[in-house]
Amino acid sequence: MKTVLKRAVIFSASLVLGAAFLYGQDAATIVDKARNRIKADTTSTRSRMVITAKGGGTSERVIDQYSKDGPAGTRMIIEFKRPASVAGTRFLTMDNASGGEDRWIFLPSLGKTRRIATSEGGGSFMGTDFSYDDISSTDRSVDADTHSILREETLNGSLCYVIQSVSKDSAYQYSKTISWIDKAKSLIYKSEMYNKRNELAKIMEISNYKDVQGRLTPVQTKISTPASGTSTTVFMDIVKYDDPIPDGVFTVNYLETGRVS
């Protein structure tokens, strides 16, 4: 009897461990599908960034953003157009062969390009609530985190997976991220990012999905910082997929001159 009972316990434990493994694999697949849902060789946008201070006052910046697939992954450049105080500022990020990213920023006031170190990923991007890491979070490798499904619940009228993604890299600014992903459409509606002390550091809300060239595209993204009471909302006024973009745009020379050589 004891042998039969022991075998039953081992068998049950095996089923539980096997289910947990599959569940974890499913979570990673769901996140990967949501992040890579839109298929396009290039993306071109013009957006307004509305920065809201703690007291409610706002300021606005206009930016152009271009991204393109490259030999090692995604290449992206952001160029500030208005106001005059930030016009001509350009930020370039490129996936590298090692699986990381290379980042540079050109500040007209300094007249030179500066490389952004990995350790600066948590720094504010041009005085907004976005950090350098936040800017490229949608291209973050699924393998960089351990994913698990916490539960299912309704958000924005849709049933969502609530998935926890725990960073494998101790140097990354967030210890974990909890995301709400539409079960039927693989749309990300909300993400909560937690710091190393397990405190809620940022809330990202993605909304107003529209059909653009046959692709459901979010045209409004808001990121809030609870500790400071500030927020930054990005409104995409123009979105184009698969428009030709010269490779010369994704170079340090373009950062400094704004011209393709």
ω into residue 226 within 30 of 0, thus cis? Answer: no
As a whole number of angstroms, the distance between CA 61 and CA 87 comes to 9
- As given in the structure block, the two tokens for residue 164 are 């926890």
pLDDT band at 121 (very low <50, low <70, confident <90, very high): confident
pTM: 0.85
Contact of 260 with 249, CB cutoff 8 Å: yes
pLDDT at 138: 64
Residue 200 scores a pLDDT above 70 = yes
pLDDT in tens, 26-85: 999 999 999 999 999 999 999 999 999 999 999 999 999 999 987 778 899 999 999 999
pLDDT at 14: 37
As a whole number of angstroms, the distance between CA 202 and CA 156 comes to 19
Residue 25 scores a pLDDT above 80 = no
| Residue of 182, 203, 53, 65 lying closest to 128 (CA atoms) | 53
Domains of the chain: 34-257 (2.50.20.10)
For 100, other C-beta atoms within 10 Å of its C-beta total 15
Looking at per-residue confidence, does 229 or 21 come out higher?
Answer: 229
pLDDT at 71: 79
Contact of 255 with 106, CB cutoff 8 Å: yes
Q: Helix, strand or coil for residue 146?
A: strand
As a whole number of angstroms, the distance between CA 236 and CA 17 comes to 44
pLDDT band at 119 (very low <50, low <70, confident <90, very high): confident
pLDDT at 11: 35
Residue 234 scores a pLDDT above 80 = yes
**Average pLDDT taken over every residue of the chain:** 88
User: Which residue bears the tokens 């049933």?
Assistant: 159
As a whole number of angstroms, the distance between CA 235 and CA 47 comes to 5
